[in-house]
Amino acid sequence: MQVREVMTKRPDYCPADASIRQVAERMRKDNSGFEPLVEGDRIVGTVTDRDLTVRALAEGKSPDDKASSIASSQVLYAFEDQDVNEVLRNMQEQHVQRLVVLNNQNDKSLVGIVTLGDIADRCEDDQMAREIANCSKHYH
């Protein structure tokens, strides 16, 4: 199974100059805990619900401050044609439960997000279930 078969696609993401409030509102609207910040189809950072609650509050940020001020600039990603098992191993090694999905190694355009939940929804066998459980054990 390839990532494109399980990933979540959306028509748009928050712009790089979005405020912390705008990102939080988008997460609420989409029932998501992860938001890429983009310029066109290029990712400039990612914001998690943890970034909003821990980083923003701890640093005394205002809801009107730029979300880029609390975003992670190291963007972890997968490619849409990658095997899901390979992506699960990468998630486990990186201690994450979600990755942005890029179209290919040449263009690297944002095409979606893949989460452990996306993969679990399409889980096909015991080995994959074990990999999903292993990723969940190491979450932080």
Domain ranges of the chain: 3-136
pLDDT over threshold 70, residue 138: no
Check: pTM over 0.85? Answer yes or no: no
Place of tokens 């066998």: 125
pLDDT over threshold 90, residue 19: yes
* φ/ψ (deg, to 5) at 12: -155, 165
Is domain 3-136 annotated with CATH 3.30.499.10?
A: no
Q: In this predicted structure, what is the pLDDT of residue 112?
A: 92
Question: How do residues 32-91 score in pLDDT, each as one tens digit?
Answer: 899 999 987 789 999 999 999 999 999 999 999 999 999 988 899 999 999 998 998 898
Q: Where are the alpha helices (DSSP H) in the chain?
A: 20-30, 49-50, 57-58, 84-94, 116-121, 126-137
Q: How far apart are CA 87 and CA 77, in angstroms?
A: 9
